[in-house]
Amino acid sequence: MKRFLMLFMAAGLLLSSCKSDNMSNPLLEKSTLRYGAPAFDEIRTEHYMPAFNAAIAKGKAEIDSIVNNPEDPTFENTILALEYAGSDLSRVSGIFFNVNEANTNEQMQAIAEEISPVMTEYSMSILLNDKLFERVKQVYGQLDSLDLGPEQKRLTEITYRNFARNGANIPADRKEEFSKIQEELSLLSLKFGKNVLDATNAYILHITDSSQLAGLPESAVAAGAAEAKSRNLDGWVYTLQYPSMEPFMKYSDIRSLREQMWRASNAKCMDGESSNEDVVKRIVELRIKEAELLGFDKYSDYILEERMAKSTGTVEDFLNDLLVKSLPFAKRDVRQIQDYANANGLEGKLMPWDFTYYATKYKDEKYKLNDEMLKPYFKLENVQQAVFALADSLYGLKFTEAKDIPGYHPDVKVYDVTDASGRHMALFYSDFFPRDGKRSGAWMTSFREQGYDKDGVEQRPLVSIVCNFTKPTENEPSLLTFYEVTTLLHEFGHALHGMLSDVRYPSLASPNVAWDFVELPSQIMENWATEKEYLASWAKHYKTGEVMPDELIRKIVDSKNFNSGYAQVRQLTFGICDMAWHTLEKVPSESVEQFETEAVAKCQIMPVVKGTAFSPSFSHIFAGGYAAGYYSYKWAEVLEADAFQLFKEQGIFNKEVSGSFRKNILSRGNTEDADVLYRNFRGRDPKPEALLEKLGMVEK
C-alpha cells in the first residue's frame, strides 16, 4: 500500500467506462514470463483503464476488510494487511506511469490526466479514513510492548507517520479541503511535465546553409543530418534534447545561433501554449495550504522533517555555507574563461551562450582534451559492459541479456542479473536513446521493488534506467561524451541500490530511502570514471581496439575538477531557488522570472538575461519528487566524497569495503534511519570538508 502512496502523493491519478472491460488483460493476469516480468509485447493502451478500474475496486475491498475486521488491531491484521493492500494497483500503476515517462503519446497522456484524480481520491480515502487510522494508532501505541522484530517495528512506525503526515490528524471539517488540494496538485504536476515535453519538442534549429555548421565536429553534423532526415527536412536539425543541444553549444562558431538555442532552452515554458507561469504559482500556493493544514509553518518544514537534514534551517545553512566557500572559485573560473574569450576574439562581456563554447576551447588548449578525442573510446556498448564489469568486481553480479523478455519499446534491452552463486537478483531494463515520447534527462525507476509477497515468496526487483544518449548514425555507433559516461554510472548506481535490496517488506526496499540519502549510491559510482585503474581496464578505441593511452587517461584525471567552482555554484543555484519557492508563506505577486532572479541574485556569476528563467521548466521540483529537496544532490555529494575516501584508502575494487557498502547501505533500504546506516558503514558521521577537498576547492 505505501509503495502506491509514495508514487501517487507526487503524481496522484478518473475512472471511465470502457467498452473493453471484459477483454483479456495482461495487466491483470499473472505473467507467464520468467520472474513475473511484465508482458510488454501484449500490453496495449486500451488495457490500462480496465486494469486501473479492477485494481482500485480490489484495493478498496482489501481496505474495507481491514477496517471492518472485528478483531482487535494487531501488526498482522492491520499494519501487514495494509502493506499488501492495493498490490495489484501498485503493479498496474508502476507499469503505466513508468511507460508514460519513457514512451508516451497523446492517448497515454489523456489516461494519466483522467486517472490522476481518482488515484488521489483513492489514496486520500485510505489516509483520511478515521477508523483505519485508529487501528494503526492502536498498534503504534503498543509498539514497545509487542513482540516485533526490527523491520516490523520500522514498518509500524513508518505506516503511522505516513498517515499522520498525509492528513490523518487534520480536523474532520478540513479533510475534504486537503483531499482536493492533493487532487489538484497531482493534475498540475502532470500538466507541468506535459508542458515541458511539448515545449522541448516544439523547438528546432533548422540549418540549410552548410556555412552555419562552422565549428561543429563531424559527429554533430552527422547527428544533425540524421535528425533532419527523420523529419523529412533538408539540411541539418538541432533540438533542445541534450545529445543534440550540448555539442552544438560546445562547438558552434556561430554566436548568434548559440544565443538562439540558449534562449530557447532557457525561456522554455515561460509563455505561449506551454506556459508554466500560472502552473508554478498554483503549485506553490497549494503546497503552502497543504503545509498549513498539516501544522507546518512552511512547506519545506513539512518535507524536511523526514529527511536526513531534518529542518529548513539546516538546509539553508548548508547551502549558504557551501555557496560562500564556492563563490571565489566560481568567480575565478568565470574570470579565467572571460580573459581567454577576450584574448580569442570575443568583444565585451562573456554571455551564458558563450561560456560552454569558450570553456571547451580553453580546456582543449590547457589539457589538450575534448569530447571528440574521448568519444571513440566510449562506444555505448563498451561502456555498458564496463559498468557491468564494475558491478561484478564490487558485488559479484553478472548480466545476461534476456532476449525472451520483452521491453516496452524496441530500444529497450532486458538483462537477467545473477550473483556469484547464480542466484537471480533482478531484471535490468536499459533504455538509452531520445524520442519524442520520452522526457528529457536520465533516471532510474522500478516496475517492481524487492520484497516478499503476502504468501512469503520473495519478489526480486524489476529495475530500469532511462537515458537520452547520442543516437547511432548511419556511419558510426553511439559514442558517449565523458559526461554521458558519468551519467550512466550515476543511474546504474541507483539501479544497484534497487537490485541489491534485501528487506522483508516492499515499502522499505531500496531505493525507498530519505531523498537526501538516495543519491549516495548513484553519485559514488561516478568516482570510478576518473580512476586510471578502472579506465585502463576497458576503454578501447571502437575502430582500432587500441587501449586508451595513459596520457589521455592522465588528462581526464587532471581535468576532472576543471570549472568545478562554476559547476558547484550552478547546482547550488538550483537548490537555493528550490528552497526560495518552498519557504514562502504566500504566493509572490511578481512574475516567476522576477522572483527567481531575486531569489538567486547572490549566486549570480554570469550576466542575467531578461526573458529567461529555469523555474518554469524545473521539473525536478514541480513535476518530480525534489520539492524542497534539490539540495540533496549536494548533501549526498558530501556523503559520497567521504565514503569514496575509504575506497581510495583501501583500494577502489576492495571487496571488504564494497561488501560493507552493500551490507550497510545498498541492501538495507529504509529499515533504519539514513544517518545510522551511514555510520554503520563509515564508523562515524561524514566530514563535510570531504567534498571541497575532492573538488580541489581548498585554498593552498
Q: How far is Cα of residue 649 from the mean position of the Cα atoms in its chain? A: 30
CA distance 397 to 390: 9
**HEC letters along 523-583:** HHHHHHHHCHHHHCCCCECCCCCCECCHHHHHHHHHCCCCCHHHHHHHHHHHHHHHHHHHC
**Residue 690 in contact with residue 642, Cβ under 8 Å?**
yes
**Site of grid cell 565536429:** 217
User: Taking the domain 277-374+564-622, which CATH number applies?
Assistant: 1.10.1370.10
With contact defined as beta carbons under 8 Å apart, do 487 and 467 qualify? yes
CA distances from 468 to 26, 173, 258, 611 (A): 29, 47, 21, 27
Known active-site residue 491:
yes
Strand 443-448 vs strand 451-452: parallel, antiparallel, or unpaired?
unpaired
Reported pTM: 0.88
- At residue 651, φ and ψ (nearest 5 deg) are 120, 130
**Pairing between strand 451-452 and 413-418?**
unpaired
Q: CB of 288 within 8 A of CB of 584?
A: yes
Orientation of helix 482-499 relative to helix 380-395, angle to 10°: 40
The pLDDT of residue 10 is: 35
Q: Residues with Cβ < 8 Å from 682, sequence gap 6 or more?
A: 642, 643, 646
Contacts of 214 (CB under 8 A, 6+ apart): 252, 253, 254
Q: What angle separates helix 592-599 from helix 564-582, to the nearest 10 degrees?
A: 120
Q: 564: which residues sit within 8 A by CB, 6+ positions away?
A: 329, 333, 695, 696, 697
Amino acid (1-letter code) at residue 429: Y
% of the chain beyond a pLDDT of 70: 97
Asked if 140 and 156 count as a contact pair (C-beta separation under 8 A), the reply is yes
Given this model, what pLDDT does residue 23 score? 65
Displacement of CA 133 from its chain's centroid (Å): 32
CA nearest 381: which of 413, 408, 410, 425? Answer: 413
How far out from the chain centre does Cα 231 lie?
A: 30
Q: What 3-state class would DSSP assign to 214?
A: coil
Asked if residue 352 has a cis previous peptide bond (ω within 30° of 0), the answer is no
Summarize pLDDT for 473-516 with one digit per residue, the tens.
Answer: 888 999 999 999 999 999 999 999 999 999 999 999 999 999 89
C-alpha cell at 613: 528563467
pLDDT for 700 equals: 60
Classify burial at 284, counting beta carbons within 10 Å of its beta carbon; exposed 0-12, middle 13-18, buried 19 or more.
Answer: buried
What are φ and ψ of residue 586, in 5° steps? -155, 160
H or E segment to which residue 445 belongs: strand 443-448
By the 8 A CB rule, do 521 and 496 touch?
A: yes
Summarised one tens digit per residue, pLDDT across range 225-264 is 999 999 999 999 999 999 999 999 999 999 999 999 999 9
What is the per-residue burial (b if ≥16 Cβ within 10 Å, else e) of 119-157?
A: bbbbbbebbbbeebbebbbebbeeeeeeebeebbbbbbe
Distances (CA, A) of 121 to 130, 136, 283, 286, 461: 15, 20, 18, 17, 28
Q: 1 near 116, Cβ under 8 Å? A: no
Q: Among candidates 80, 91, 84, 94, which has minimal Cα distance to 61? A: 84
Helices (H), ranges, 33-105: 48-67, 81-84, 87-102
Contact 292, 177 (CB under 8 A): no
- Quick one: which of 418, 413, 628, 665 has its CA closest to 525? 665
Residue 207: enclosing H or E segment and its boundaries?
A: strand 204-207
Closest CA relative to residue 435, chosen from 473, 383, 381, 471: 471
* pLDDT tens for each residue of 52-74: 999 999 999 999 999 999 999 99
Pull the grid cell for residue 270. Answer: 515561460
* CA dist., res. 457 & res. 337, Å (int): 59
Question: What is the spatial distance between Cα 287 and Cα 622, in angstroms, rounded to a whole number?
Answer: 11
- Residue reference for cell 503526515: 165
How many angstroms separate the most distant Cα atoms in the chain?
82
pLDDT value, residue 475? 87
Low-confidence spans in the chain with pLDDT less than 50: 1-22
* Angle, CA 120 vertex, CA 6 and CA 271 arms, to 5°: 95
Pick the CATH number of 2-127+129-169 from 1.20.1110.10, 3.20.20.70, 3.40.50.1820, 1.10.1370.40: 1.10.1370.40
Question: Radius of gyration over alpha carbons of the chain, in Å?
Answer: 25
Q: Say which DSSP state 40 is in.
A: T
Domain boundaries, the chain: 2-127+129-169, 203-266, 277-374+564-622, 375-558
CATH top-level class for 375-558?
A: mainly alpha
Q: What is the DSSP letter of 80?
A: I
Whether 2-127+129-169 shares its CATH topology with 277-374+564-622 is answered yes
What pLDDT is stored for residue 688 in this prediction?
Answer: 87
User: Is the distance from CB of 497 to CB of 653 less than 8 angstroms?
Assistant: no
Ramachandran bin of 239, using left for φ above 0, alpha for ψ from -120 to 50, beta for the remaining angles: beta
Catalytic choice (491, 519, 596, 637): 491
